[in-house]
Amino acid sequence: MILECPECSTRYLVPDSAIGAEGRTVRCANCRHSWFQEPPVPEPEPPLPLQPAQAIDDAGDDEGEDGGVPPFLEPAAIPAARTMPLPEPVIVPPAAGFDAFAHRPPFRTRRNTSRRWTVIAIVAGLLMIAGVGAILFLGAPGLLAQIGLPVGAEESPLRLKDNPIERRELENGSELFAVSGRVTNPSGERQRVPDIRAELRDAQGRIVYSWTITPQQRTLNPGGSIDFNSAKLDVPSNSKRLELSFAGEDAN
pLDDT at 69 (0 to 100): 42
In a domain, 152, yes or no: no
What pLDDT, on a 0 to 100 scale, did the predictor assign at position 186? Answer: 93
29-55: per-residue pLDDT in tens?
Answer: 888 888 888 888 776 776 766 555 554
Q: Is residue 206 part of a domain?
A: yes
The domain that holds 189 is classified in CATH as 2.60.40.10
Query: Structural domain tally of the chain?
Result: 2
Sign of the torsion angle spanned by Cα atoms 62, 64, 69, 74: negative
pLDDT digits (tens, 9 = 90+) for 151-196: 544 577 999 988 888 888 888 888 888 999 999 999 999 999 999 9
In-domain check, residue 109: no
Q: Alpha-carbon distance 219 to 183, whole Å? A: 11
> Rounded to an integer, what distance in angstroms lies between the CA atom of residue 210 and that of residue 177?
12
**What's the domain range around 217?**
159-246
In a domain, 22, yes or no: yes
pLDDT greater than 80 at residue 59: no
DSSP sequence for 169-232: E-TTS-EEEEEEEEEE--SSS-EE---EEEEEE-TTS-EEEEEEE--S-SEE-TT-EEEEEEEE
Q: What is the pLDDT of residue 4?
A: 86
For residue 252, tell me if it sits in a domain: no
Report the run of H or E that residue 122 belongs to, with start and end. helix 113-138
> Would you say residue 234 lies in a domain?
yes
CA 165 – CA 18 distance, rounded (Å): 112
In a domain, residue 215? The reply is yes
pLDDT at 76 over 60: no
Whether 45 is covered by a domain: the verdict is no
